[in-house]
Every structure is written in structure tokens, then in C-alpha cells.
A = this chain, B = another copy of it.
Amino acid sequence: MIKQIEGGVTAAKGFMAAGVEAGVKYKNRKDMAMVYSTMPCVAAGTFTSNVVKAAPVLWDKKIVEESPYVQAVVVNSGIANACTGKQGMDCCAAESRCAGELLGIPEEAVLVASTGVIGMQMPVDRLQEGIRKLVQEKSDSLAAGLEAAQAIMTTDTLPKQIAVEVTIGGRTVTLGGMCKGSGMIHPNMCTMLGFLTTDVCISKEMLQKALRADVVDSFNMISVDGDTSTNDTLLVLANGLAGNEKITAEGEDYDTFCEALHFVTTYLARKMAGDGEGATALIEAKVIGAACKEDARILAKSVICSSLTKAAVFGHDANFGRILCALGYSGVQFDPDQVDLYFQGKNGKMHIFGDGTACDYSEEEATRILSEPEVTILADMHMGDGEAVAWGCDLSYDYVKINADYRS
């Protein structure tokens, strides 16, 4: 039984957070965040598959793999610290050293993350000043968690956070998280920036295993624009304060934790897709009846990645041919004459294509469904029992506006 509760990264026992204005690049808005655990945590992470990896990605991969424990994450928005060479790596080291000293923990216990413009060097002094403020202001309040979620935003229009409770081994375990998305979102092995905190007691190996298995059907199933970022980072910190018997193998406790994890990651992934740059609607592509699960994933992602489908949803235009077209070029083999397509909204489901031709549907009714803030496209391939869901957003004038002049 998963129970959604208030809050985000500070919901779990022993976690503090802060969000402050550091003037890294933006003016007059929060642009640095910290997550801190009063107890050492095991950490797991998944990172971008892009060959061009930002400095903090390289830094965190090493820490997650080699460090016995971690206790803090320092994040900035505005500059991505990507394509910054040695100077970029030096900056990560300086941030970790500064946070480590001020928090009284080893610098190897500090993770860093950045999001923003690629290719620009970081203002190390301002980051250090920001870390000082973060350390002073950190708090375990729910408000502090929200401030952290706000500070990591770039072109996001809303902070994204969630927290849930589950019972594991008779103890209440809390899992919270925050993320930011918006543009350059086509995660591959993880998302732009996501941070999860939990008081569950679990081994590092099982935490990494749970995370790796989870992203395949959560963050890896969303796309805003098909561009896989240089900075994608998803981190989860577990400090064990829930007091449950340590999860060290598969079993009921592990499964319960995985369910809670999936609830949180799917919630955040959907929020990220729905708040894509310029988006006016969340597009959910659900594929059922595919030959296998992997085919279903490929088909669903192809639909939410199609610029033409995205533009049609923005125009509330039931141009289903573009959906069939996107299924058709996905690389998966199928017989178009066997496919059934539906639009699904809050008030029901509408059959739009079957037996190889358009159904006799009402354009008016279709436009009504396509005008809802969440549009579901359902494709039944009638080939097997493979199912998958992917999430994206529509393509609007504002996407172009935001990205034609992002650096100014």
C-alpha cells in the first residue's frame, strides 16, 4: 500500500535541504540547492548515455561507484558545466571540498549536479558563496524541500516533487524526490536531474539494482524534444533511519520498495513530460498487444517523439495518420491493418482507426478530447501481450521561442 504524503526530498527521516539565490547565471531567483542527510547514506545513480558527459556526471559516477557513503548533493541551475574541460572538473572538486569542509564530512561524500547552458565556465567563487548560504539555511522542513525543488528549475514552469510512505518489515519507510526537466529531455539511462531521498535501510547493491530496473519504464520513457542531455543524472540516497531490517536481497521488502520507487519516478517523469518546454498538454502513448515489452516501448516512444504528432496535439487536430506513421517508422514490424487506435480522455475512449482505415468518428468529439491537458493515445497492435507507456508533450510556438534565444 503506497500512501502519497506531502513534501519532497525532506519528507524522509534525517534529510535536510535548502534552495538559495547564488547568482550563478540567473539574477533574482533561487539557483542553488542542497540535499543533506544527517546520517551517511548508500547512494545509487544512473547517468546520461551521451558520449559528451558534463563534468558533474563524470564526478558523480566516480563517487557513486567508489565512495563508501555519501551525505550531500549540491546542485546549481543556469550553467551546465558541460564541455568545460579540466576547468569543469576542477570546479566539481572545489564545490565538493567547500561543502565537505562546511558540513564536516569527507569531500568524497559530496555529489554535485548542474543544469543550464553548455560550454560556459562556472563562477567558482559564487558557487562557494552559494554553498555557504545553503549550509546555513538547510532545514528538515517541507518548505526547505520545496525551495530546493524550485532552485533546480531552468525553463521549468513548476517545481516537481513528491513523497510517499510504505510499510516495509513493519516499519514506515518514506521515499521523496524532486526533479527538473523541460528541454533537452530524452533521457537515456536516466533523466535531466532527479534526486530521491529515502530512510529505507538497504544495501548499495540492491539500491542500484532497483534504480537501474526502474528507469527503463519511468524516466527513460519520456521525451520532450529527442535531445539526450549531457547532464542527465538521477541519484537516490538511502540513510537507513526507517529502521527496517536491511534489504540485501530480492523478496517481499525489496518488491515493496521497488513499487514505492516506481510510484515516485513515474509521477516525476509524467510531471517532467507535461511541463516540457512550451508544452500545453501531456501526451501519454500507451501501446498494448505488442509482440513483446521491448517492441511496446519502442512503439510508444516513437509516437511521443514525433514532431508532427506533437504539433497536431498542440492544434487539437485528430490527425491520426501521423500516429500511424510514427508507429510505422519506429523500427518495429507489424501489420497496419491489424492496428486499432484510440484517443482517450477523461470522459471516455474513442475508436479512430481500425481494419486499415479511419473509423467513422466525430471530429468535434476528437477535438474535445485533444483539448484536455492530458491526452492518451492508445494503440492496440493485436500481436501479443507487450505493453508500455511513454510520456511526452505537445510542440508549441513557445518551444521554439524558448529555444531560439535560450542563452540571452
Contact = CB atoms under 8 A, between A and B. Distances in A.
Nearest to A51: B328
Contacts of A311: 399-400, 403-404
A14 B183 CA distance: 54
A82 interface: yes
A403 B227 contact: no
Number of this chain's copies in the assembly equals 2
A326 B227 contact: yes
A81 to B, nearest CB: 11
A86 interface: yes
A405 interface: yes
Contacts of A322: 118, 184, 227
A164 to B, nearest CB: 32
B308 A183 contact: yes
A200 to B, nearest CB: 33
Given A225-B308, A307-B403, A319-B407, A118 B324 contact: yes
Interface string A202-224: 00000000000000000000000
A273 to B, nearest CB: 15
A405 B356 contact: no
A52 interface: yes
B84 A306 contact: no
Contacts of A373: none
A225 B326 CA distance: 12
B325 A404 contact: no
A188 interface: yes
A314 B404 contact: yes
Interface stretch (A15-23, A24-32, A263-271, A330-338): A330-338
A283 to B, nearest CB: 14
Nearest to A408: B317
Contact of A50 (B186, B329, B356): B329
Interface of A: 49-53, 80, 82-87, 117-121, 183-184, 186, 188, 225-230, 305-308, 311-312, 314-315, 317, 319-322, 324-330, 332-334, 336-337, 353, 355-358, 395-397, 399-401, 403-408
21 contacts: A51-B334, A52-B324, A52-B327, A52-B336, A53-B328, A82-B321, A83-B353, A86-B356, A117-B321, A118-B320, A118-B324, A119-B353, A183-B308, A188-B329, A227-B325, A230-B321, A312-B404, A312-B406, A396-B400, A397-B397, A400-B400
